Structure 1
Amino acid sequence: MQFEYALLDFKELHVSKKVQSLLDKHTFTLVKNERFEEVIQQINGYHKDSWLLPQYTQILKTLFKTPSRDFELCSFELIEKKSNQLIAGELGYCIGKTYTSLTGFFKKEAQYNNCGKLQLVMLAHYLEQHDFDLWNLGHACMSYKIDLGAKVYQREAFLKRWFKAII
């Protein structure tokens, strides 16, 4: 069980100069649910000890293919427009007006510097434009989440906010 959560309120989003420069070039696009299985493959290649074991991956694939009014498993993919290549992506789920990140990846090649952060910023914009109340980035121990503008909430405070947003 988690005791702390990193939550992003969209008004607190921090966009670095390097990421803003990438945004201004318009060379990438963010899409939803177009390359779900490729995102899983990339995550497993990126994380050497991925928790996406075959049995768990099968459950995720089943959830992805089973529409629900209350729960949506989804993938967000950062695509380089020129090459149509998947550069970064993540898996997460939506309940009500919340989005929770589960795991992700980004290409580490030099030409894609800051593309992992770009994917996160573009996802924050997407969520805000689609009237989400908050983004649960999960465990608060990773500094990139705080750098993005997330605040750390203790479990009780997190649950109060989360329960309001899932209704």
Structure 2
Amino acid sequence: SSLGSWELLEKYQKDKHGTNWLTKQYFEMMQKAAADPSVNFQVHCIDLFAAEGSTEPQPTRHSVRASLMSWWRVGASRSASEGERRPVAGEIGFSIGKVYTSLSGWTGERTAEALGTVQLVLLGRWLQQRGYVFWSL
């Protein structure tokens, strides 16, 4: 859920920086704006998951979920349920038309896999495939 994405971001920011500038009130305000069909605004919650118990090679055992958009699946077992996947990186952003803005992100433990970078690369490809013309990082 999008609230689950915000909660992951909240925990990361508070653990790392002691505060989260993207408050729940601000996040909820963005969701309300996105729910109004007369406003050309959409909130995006991007989460990268590791499929637990996957027998696939390391670089391809992740699935990416984009709340309020669609599911991405990158090498994750089709039978993996929500409970079997562990969130490892993500971000919250928004789009107005074909312009996407990244607001704030998080990553789990730092590993050689550079999962925060993986999440950004996959997001960039997703935006490109859908015709976005500008990405503000």
- Shorter-normalised TM range: 0.5 to 0.7
Superposition map of 1:1-167 within 5 A: 35-48=1-14, 49-67=19-37, 70-82=40-52, 83-108=84-109, 110=111, 113-137=113-137
Q: Which has the higher contact order (CA 8 A, sep 6+)?
A: 1
TM-score computed with the length of structure 1 as normaliser = 0.54
1:81: Cα distance to partner? 2.7
Would you say how many aligned residue pairs link Structure 1 and Structure 2?
A: 102
CA contact (8 A) 1:39 1:89 kept: yes
Deviations 1:26-83 (A, max 9, x none): xxxxxxxxx3111111111111211123422332343354445611111111122333
Aligned AA (1:121): V
Alignment identity in percent?
30
Q: Which runs of 5+ in 2 are unaligned?
A: 53-83
Larger radius of gyration: 1
Aligned AA (1:103): S
1:109: Cα distance to partner? 5.1
Q: Find the residue that maps to 1:73 and give its secondary structure.
A: strand
Residues of 2 paired with 1:63 and 1:107: CA distance? 29
Q: Which runs of 5+ in 1 are unaligned?
A: 1-34, 138-167
CA contact (8 A) 2:33 2:41 kept: no
Deviations 1:1-47 (A, max 9, x none): xxxxxxxxxxxxxxxxxxxxxxxxxxxxxxxxxx3111111111111
* Closer, same or farther: CA 42–36 of 1 in aligned 2, 3 Å: same
Q: Find the residue that maps to 1:89 and give its secondary structure.
A: strand
Structure holding more helix per residue: 1
The aligned residue for residue 67 of structure 2 is: none
* Closer, same or farther: CA 80–93 of 1 in aligned 2, 3 Å: same
TM-score computed with the length of structure 2 as normaliser = 0.64
RMSD of aligned alpha carbons: 2.1
Aligned AA (1:90): E
* Closer, same or farther: CA 97–58 of 1 in aligned 2, 3 Å: closer
1:130: Cα distance to partner? 0.7
